Structures are given as C-alpha cells and as structure tokens.
C-alpha cells in the first residue's frame, strides 16, 4: 500500500488479529474524519475457511465503528474467490 507522504498514517492492529489472514489496517489522519484503509489478499486456495476471514473482517469493522464512529473504512485488495456480497451483508459497508 502506498500513501502520500503528505498524509499522516499508522498501522492499526485489529483486536484478535490473526497472522494467517493477509490484512493490513492503516489509519489515515486527514483534515476530515479519520479514514481506515484495509488491504486484503485472499488467495485462490486459502488454508483457512473463508467464513473465518469474514468473521475477522466483521469484528475489525465493528471495533472501528466503536472506537471511531465517524471514520470512513475502505476495504480493497485481491478477493479472488471471496464473495464480496458476504462482506456487505455482515458489515455496514456498501
């Protein structure tokens, strides 16, 4: 993930973080409310159940909503076989 040097960023650690998931949570401080960018790589043949990853994403988004209620969250990356409609149905994301 590349971020402009004009922005203040830091890595946010999701509660209950699991190293087997390839997720990077970045907090971007702007003049507007805080923004979080989540970079995801979901391999075509993961060694974990997709539902476990979806549970983890849901828990992370819930934690962000509690700690930073006005924040914007962007989830992007390589979803491969992960059904993005599941992410939408489990979280307040569009």
CA–CA separation, 38 and 60 (whole Å): 10
Residues 6+ away with beta carbon under 8 Å from 29: 7, 8, 9
* Total-model pTM: 0.87
CATH 3.30.70 fits 8-90, yes or no: yes
Q: Is 24:2 a contact under the CB 8 Å cutoff?
A: no
The tens digit of pLDDT for each residue in 25-77 reads 999 987 778 899 999 999 999 999 999 999 999 999 999 999 999 899 999 99
Q: Hey, where are the domains in the chain? A: 8-90
Mean pLDDT of 65-91: 91
């Amino acid at each position: 993930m590349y971020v402009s040097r004009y922005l203040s960023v830091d890595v946010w650690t999701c509660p209950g973080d699991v190293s087997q998931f390839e997720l990077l949570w970045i907090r971007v401080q702007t003049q507007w409310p805080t923004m979080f960018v989540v970079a995801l790589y979901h391999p075509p043949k993961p060694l974990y159940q997709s539902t476990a990853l979806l549970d983890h994403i849901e828990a992370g988004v819930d934690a962000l909503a509690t700690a930073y209620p006005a924040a914007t969250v962007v989830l992007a990356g390589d979803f491969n076989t992960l059904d993005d409609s599941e992410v939408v149905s489990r979280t307040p994301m569009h």
